[in-house]
Chains A and B, each alone.
Chain A
Amino acid sequence: KQEVTQIPAALSVPEGENLVLNCSFTDSAIYNLQWFRQDPGKGLTSLLLIQSSQREQTSGRLNASLDKSSGRSTLYIAASQPGDSATYLCAVKVGTGGFKTIFGAGTRLFVKA
């Protein structure tokens, strides 16, 4: 059974710091891995999607990597800002046809001004 783990559960950093969020999964048979951002009381916003054949994706100050063989992904945030404060979730798409998504519990990030 696929399990997705995110460490740490919470992280507090000063503004301007570069940081890495970690995601691990137990079964390498995935279609893709997606990173989401969730603001309090809101839904999820897709940040980056890495297909199983890809190694990384970049969008602005965000860079996500994928190592299927080791079951790991990282989300790198450069020059963090207070507006980056949110919960970040990773999710893997699995199952026949890729119709099921397994989520991690998330990392709550707080960027101090």
Chain B
Amino acid sequence: NAGVTQTPKFQVLKTGQSMTLQCAQDMNHEYMSWYRQDPGMGLRLIHYSVGAGITDQGEVPNGYNVSRSTTEDFPLRLLSAAPSQTSVYFCASRTTGGASNQPQHFGDGTRLSIL
């Protein structure tokens, strides 16, 4: 019963490096999303996808790219890491069947530090 799986769990990068955070779900959920969580600010939506081939921006999309080539995977790319991107990143998924009133399922997060 894997649910939402994020890799890696921890990562340290230098400013300017690039990296991809992986997210995979095995529940055949159409909707997937990426959030960042910073102290005292709750979670903020970065990008989301309502199905393969469809992505859209959330509240804080700058500095991040996403793609959705399959239903299962939704990677998040940092093209040129900046210290301001130090955060904990969460991936979530849910079904869109019927209505949008379905609970989201979260991964355990990726803790990213940019030096």
| Chain A residues at the B interface, C-beta cutoff of 8 Å | 4, 9, 31-32, 34, 36, 41-46, 49, 51, 89, 91, 93, 97-106
Contacts and interface: CB of A to CB of B under 8 A. Distances in A.
A56 to B, nearest CB: 15
Contacts of A41: 108-109
Nearest to A98: B100
Range for the number of chain B residues in contact with chain A: 20 to 34
Interface stretch (B11-19, B42-50, B67-75, B78-86): B42-50
Contacts, number: 67
A42 B109 contact: yes
A10 B106 CA distance: 23
Contacts of A105: 40-42
B58 interface: yes
Contacts of A97: 50, 100
Given A43-B108, A44-B106, A99-B48, A4 B42 contact: yes
